[in-house]
Amino acid sequence: MSVEPSTETESPAVDSVTFRGAWAGFVACLPVALGVAGYGVVFGMLARRVGLSVAEAALMSATVLAGAAQLVAVELWETPTPVVAILVTTAVVNLRYVLMGAALRPWFEDLSPLEAYASLFFITDENWALTVRDLRSGSGRGAFLLGSGLAVWAFWVAATVAGAVAGSAIGDPARYGLDFVLTAVFLTIAAGLWSGRHSLVPWAAAAAVAVAGAAWLPGRWYILLGGLAASLVEVGRRG
């Protein structure tokens, strides 16, 4: 914690990666990670069904850490493995991470390259959003992405194993309201990012483009396009 009152800047200085900062991120992300785990169970079940072993499913969750891309990959999985299709889809589904990483720049430029690039491995939609919220509040916790990401990672891998081992005995996450956890997370964060009428036009553009994109385009293009729509509207408005 800084003692001196800092002057108002757009991106206050960010501490290097500390245990305290990471722990704060880890704890803040635990309820969110529980929601993510609901999908980890589904992924584990699907992975087993297409013939991956429990170890392979767990390894994919531990090293790829991208829920949507992994779910699509096991949808495509067959023998022989359609490697090109799987890799191209993985890249396309994950393109939104390029924008998410770019949006962290104001804070991550204060971190060492090792800290920054190690933390970026742990980006997922959920903990990225929590991290933006935390850093915007001026916490200066450079380790928040890493800590929150470790929470998601631990639950994601454990849930994958649980789903792969238990198979279909567990059932639909919607039964426990877990499907709504992630919606609630993003709503909470959106409420925090709302900056009055100024946000209205870019957000309306993002929503319209995303709903249209989700209806007509495959995969997660809608997230990328919705985010870009908000950006373009904002730039256009400032001339």
Partner 1 sequence: MAEIPTLAVIAAMCAVTYATKAGGLWLLRRVEPSDRLRASLEALPGGIIVAILAPRLAAGGPPEWAAGAAVVVVAHRTDSVLLALVVGVVAVLLFRGQLR
Q: By CB under 8 A, what part of segment 169-208 binds partner 1?
A: 176-178, 180-194, 199, 202-203, 205-208
41 touches partner 1 by CB under 8 A: no
Among 98, 167, 171, 172, binds partner 1 (CB under 8 A): 98
Q: What DSSP string runs through 137-165?
A: TT---TTHHHHHHHHHHHHHHHHHHHHHH
User: How far apart (Å, rounded) are the C-alpha atoms in residues 160 and 37?
Assistant: 8
User: How far apart (Å, rounded) are the C-alpha atoms in residues 125 and 186?
Assistant: 9
Among 108, 144, 153, 155, binds partner 1 (CB under 8 A): 108
Q: Which is nearer to partner 1, 4 or 79 (CB)?
A: 79
Among 101, 158, 165, 170, binds partner 1 (CB under 8 A): 101
Could you tell me the smallest distance in angstroms from the CB atom of residue 45 to partner 1? 18
Could you tell me the smallest distance in angstroms from the CB atom of residue 160 to partner 1? 12
| Mask for 4-23, x = binds partner 1 (CB under 8 A) | --------------------
Among 91, 112, 172, 218, binds partner 1 (CB under 8 A): 91
CB 158 within 8 A of CB 37: yes
217 touches partner 1 by CB under 8 A: no
Look-up of token digits 């989700």: 214
Helix ranges (H only) for the chain are: 19-49, 54-64, 67-76, 83-94, 96-103, 105-108, 113-120, 125-136, 144-166, 178-193, 197-216, 221-238
54 touches partner 1 by CB under 8 A: no
For residue 121, how far is the Cα from the chain centroid?
Answer: 11
Long-range pairs, 77-85, Cβ under 8 A, ≥24: 77/50, 77/51, 77/52, 78/50, 79/51
Q: Which is nearer to partner 1, 3 or 238 (CB)?
A: 238
Candidate ranges 1-9, 15-23, 155-163, 225-233; the one touching partner 1 (CB under 8 A): 225-233
Q: Which is nearer to partner 1, 16 or 81 (CB)?
A: 81
Q: Which is nearer to partner 1, 15 or 220 (CB)?
A: 220
Which residues in the 117-136 window bind partner 1 by CB under 8 A? 117, 120-121, 123, 125, 129-130, 132-133, 136
Non-local CB neighbours of 162 within 8 Å, separated by 6+ positions: 40, 41, 44, 170
CB 102 within 8 A of CB 116: no
110 touches partner 1 by CB under 8 A: no
